[in-house]
Structure 1
Amino acid sequence: MTDPARIPVIVGIGEVADRPDTPGRGPIGPEPAALMAEALARADADAGGGWLPRLGSLDVVNAVSWPYADLPARVADLIGHRPARLAYGPVGGETPVRFLHEAARRIARGEVGVAALCSGEAEYGAGAARRAGLSPERDAIPPWTAPDPAWTNPRVRDYLHPQALRHGLSQPVFVYPLYETALQAAWGQTPRQGRDESAALWSAMSRVAAQNPHGWLRRSFTAEEIATPSPGNRPIAWPYLKLMVANPVVNQGAALIVTSLALARAAGLPDRRTVPIGPGAAAAEPRDWLARDRFDHAPAQDAVLGGTLRRAGLAPADLAAIELYSCFPCVPKMARRRLGLPGDAVPTVAGGLTFFGAPLNGYMAHAACAMVRTLRAAPGAAGLLYGQGEFVTKHHALVLGGPARVPADEAMSVQDEADHRRGPVPPVVADASGRAALETHTVLFDREGAPQKGVVVLRRGLARLLARVPAADRATLGLLTDLDRSPVGLDGTLRMAADGLLEWEAA
């Protein structure tokens, strides 16, 4: 069907980068809600104006950098309009893609005429205020919204296995390295080869970010800079250095406005300014990362990427641009292999979460804005957005551009396919002795670059175990950080430490 009243298109995009060197800026900068409102105003202007009072739906990406009692209501107040549907999303880096997909379906079903989504974080401003002993609700100009004393941090990890929590593997920066290590071994790489692949990919992303006026680190980095430990590039969690991980200490906001092709034309917008929203798909891994079959694949990612392209009738070679989520190198490296992209492909239009910036859950809203700019310059071309959240957990992909068409009436979820790709999950055992073999691992470092401990995921028969490698066990830590030999599969001895946690020594 080609009914323009049911064809969803993006008509407006807006971005804000409140950098500390912005002329006339105060010492703290605007709050997240203000960044969102400004991004919406810019998206409205980009679409020719007059769209915000017509919003029937507004999705607000979850913000973590400031404790609001009702962030969507605050954004609505700032834009001077409260849509009939005003929603606040959960934590997850994939949520902007999902919001965009859902907005398109609402337009196609005739539920709303105009929809929007927005994101905004001010982690840099909030941190600067704390360091200076300032209170943003009192000292910022204008003052930030008063903090909600009952606010609960939405990033609580109580859904993780108790063993993961006891060993300190409750933050993404400590869990994604487990995938990286396992994947390097599965791909037949040495850690040095894996590091060099990550560094080359990240260097290419930095070059894109350097050309993006809305980016945070607006300079390019060489692969050697990214791969080499230094005072400004300290090791975080093996095998990742600081320049390989997402940078959330930014002040950035983004917004997109979606309507039907019919309303866009009625407003006088030429078709070349509108970008159709095509098919997409979503799926998830078990939320507890220890409840997964392996760490050298992501069945949900495979199902989502394959399902999205299949629904769009596209092959990877048909895509003019791609944005693969890049919180840590293992994610786009897996995805580009699944898509069969060449090794020198640059899977970003925004610049990646290290260099463009990682406004927590909002990066893919910026990526969508960058994709719209790219596709406006190439009418008829198609691009792919792929977002991911939590611990390689939630996956959502969406095609933008291509032929303008009414979305098919099909479920977003391809969960059945993802589950079919997954193997049996080993039970986690907390108490054991004797021998166990390394499945994957990481090493955590302090701010001076010294190893604090290793954490190993082990296999013993059908069971999975977690164990610590103490900082004093230099020999085992040396094997775990050997750049020229993967330790995956190494055998070692388990023992119970005085605090009730298992420890492991290679040999």
Structure 2
Amino acid sequence: MTDPARIPVVVGIGEVADRPDAPGRGSVGPEPAALMAEALARADADAGGGWLARVASLDVINAVSWPYADLPARVADLIGHRPARLAYGPVGGETPVRFLHEAALRIARGEVEVAALCSGEAEHSAGAARRAGLKPERDAVPPWTAPDPAWTNPRARDYLHPQALRHGLSQPVFVYPLYETALQAAWGQTPRQGRDESAALWSAMSRVAGANPNGWLRRPFAAEEIATPSPANRPIAWPYPKLMVANPVVNQGAGLIVTSLALARAAGIPEHRVVPIGPGAAAAEPRDWLARDRFDHAPAQDAVLAETLRRAGFAPPDLAAVELYSCFPCVPKMARRSLGLPADAVPTVAGGLTFFGAPLNGYMAHAACAMVRALREAPGAAGLLYGQGEFVTKHHALVLGGRPRAPADAPVSVQDEADRRRGPVPPVVEAATGRATLETHTVLFDREGAPERGVVVLRQGGARLLARVPAADRGTLGRLTDLDRSPVGGEGRLRTAPDGLLEWEAA
């Protein structure tokens, strides 16, 4: 279909970074809803003005840093317009890509003429206020929206296996390292080689963030600084130190406005500033990470990336820019290999979740804004956005740029293909004796950099099990953190601790 009224395009982008050192800023900055409203206003201005009042569909990306009773309604109040469709999304780092894709499909189907999405978080302000004994709803200027006493944190992990919860592996920062160590072994790397690859990649991302006026840590970091533990770069969960994990302590907002090519032309927007939205795809891994077949691949990621490019008719070398989600190094390292990108590729246009900043679920909205800016400088070129949510769980990719075209009728989901690529899943057992083989592992550290405990994923026969390595077992912890020899595949002995959890000692 070539009807310009059915061809979706991005016409407006807006971002805001509320830095605590900004001249004239008060002790507490704007609330998340205000950051969203300001980002949408900037997107409207970027598109030439007059678009916000025409928005018929607005997706608000889930915000965690402040407990709102009705965040979308608050954003609508602040922009002075309530769209006919006003929706609030679930938790997930892939949701900005999903919402941008869905907005494009609504335009293509003729359901709406103008759509928008926005994100905003103020975790830095909220945390600083708590430490200072301030109440943003009282002490900020203007005051923040009154907190909802019935609000519950949307990041509950009750869907995880009880063994994962008992061992404390209920946060992404403790689970993604399991992928990292398994992947290093599968790729034939020593932990030192894996660390150095991560550090070089993150250093390149820091240079992109340093040149991005909306970034949070706006200076380049050397690979050695990223790789080396220090008081400013303490170890978090082996093998990741602080400078290899997402940084959510930021105040950032983003907004995008989507319409048809016909309306963009009617508004007189120059053709080079109109960025077409191309095809995309989505799939998921089993939500409970212990129900995965292996930890050295992500079938949903592979299926989504391959199908998105196939639908667009592109090979990876055809892409002028890519943004591969970067909450932790294993994610873009896997995606780079899946796409066949060269080892020196820099898979970000925004700067990555460590250095640009990680406004929780909203980073990919900023990445989309950065991609639009890059493609406006290269009319006709194409870029790839790839977002991920939860624990290597939810995957969504989308092409921007290229020739204007209406989306195909193919379903967004490629779940069948992802499932086809997945192998058998071992059952999880809670009690075992004897010897067991290491499948993957991490070591958790305290704030002073001392190891608190190791957690190992083991295989015994056809079963999978979790076990602890106590802090007192320095020999096994040393084996788990040896930079020059991967422990994956090694054997050890099991015992049951007084609290009922299994413990493992390397043989």
TM-score range for the pair, normalised by the shorter chain length: over 0.9
- 3-state secondary structure, aligned to 2:459: strand
Amino acid paired to 2:190: T
- State the match for 1:307 in structure 2: 307
Amino acid paired to 1:100: L
- State the match for 2:348 in structure 1: 348
Report the CA distance between 1:92 and its aligned residue.
0.1
Q: Deviations over 1:124-166 (max 9, x none)?
A: 0000000000000000000000000000100000000000000
- State the match for 1:31 in structure 2: 31
1:418-433 equivalence runs, <5 A: 418-433=418-433
Amino acid paired to 1:501: L
What is the alpha-carbon distance in structure 2 between the residues aligned to residue 336 and residue 202 of structure 1? 14
Q: Deviations over 1:164-193 (max 9, x none)?
A: 000000000000000000000000000000
- State the match for 2:407 in structure 1: 407
1:255 aligned onto 2:255: yes
- 3-state secondary structure, aligned to 2:142: coil
Report the CA distance between 1:365 and its aligned residue.
0.1
- State the match for 1:51 in structure 2: 51
Amino acid paired to 1:92: G
Amino acid paired to 2:345: A
- State the match for 2:276 in structure 1: 276
- State the match for 2:192 in structure 1: 192
What is the alpha-carbon distance in structure 2 between the residues aligned to residue 166 and residue 25 of structure 1? 44
- 3-state secondary structure, aligned to 1:422: coil
1:225-264 equivalence runs, <5 A: 225-264=225-264
What is the alpha-carbon distance in structure 2 between the residues aligned to residue 421 and residue 255 of structure 1? 35
- State the match for 2:467 in structure 1: 467
Q: Deviations over 1:200-225 (max 9, x none)?
A: 00000000000000000000000000
- State the match for 2:70 in structure 1: 70
- State the match for 1:390 in structure 2: 390
- State the match for 1:318 in structure 2: 318
1:100-499 equivalence runs, <5 A: 100-499=100-499
What is the alpha-carbon distance in structure 2 between the residues aligned to residue 337 and residue 423 of structure 1? 20
Query: TM-score, normalization: structure 2?
Result: 1.00
- 3-state secondary structure, aligned to 1:259: strand
What is the alpha-carbon distance in structure 1 between the residues aligned to residue 99 and residue 160 of structure 2? 26
- 3-state secondary structure, aligned to 1:441: strand
What is the alpha-carbon distance in structure 2 between the residues aligned to residue 430 and residue 471 of structure 1? 21
- State the match for 2:99 in structure 1: 99
Report the CA distance between 1:270 and its aligned residue.
1.4
Query: TM-score, normalization: structure 1?
Result: 1.00
Report the CA distance between 1:229 and its aligned residue.
0.4
Amino acid paired to 1:285: E
Amino acid paired to 1:370: A
- Percent identity among equivalent residues? 89
What is the alpha-carbon distance in structure 2 between the residues aligned to residue 491 and residue 408 of structure 1? 51
What is the alpha-carbon distance in structure 2 between the residues aligned to residue 21 and residue 340 of structure 1? 42
- 3-state secondary structure, aligned to 1:174: helix
What is the alpha-carbon distance in structure 2 between the residues aligned to residue 56 and residue 472 of structure 1? 60
Amino acid paired to 1:448: E
Amino acid paired to 2:305: L
Report the CA distance between 1:410 and its aligned residue.
1.4
Q: Which runs of 4+ in 1 moved over 4 A?
A: none
Q: Deviations over 1:6-62 (max 9, x none)?
A: 000000000000011111111110000000000000000000000000000000000
Runs of at least 5 residues in structure 1 that lack an aligned partner in the other structure: none
> CA RMSD of the aligned region, Å?
0.3
What is the alpha-carbon distance in structure 1 between the residues aligned to residue 487 and residue 298 of structure 2? 21
Count of residue pairs the alignment pairs up: 507
Runs of at least 5 residues in structure 2 that lack an aligned partner in the other structure: none
What is the alpha-carbon distance in structure 1 between the residues aligned to residue 63 and residue 116 of structure 2? 16
What is the alpha-carbon distance in structure 2 between the residues aligned to residue 335 and residue 23 of structure 1? 40
- 3-state secondary structure, aligned to 2:13: strand
What is the alpha-carbon distance in structure 2 between the residues aligned to residue 454 and residue 343 of structure 1? 31
Report the CA distance between 1:271 and its aligned residue.
1.1
Q: Deviations over 1:78-105 (max 9, x none)?
A: 0000000000000000000000000000
- 3-state secondary structure, aligned to 2:73: helix
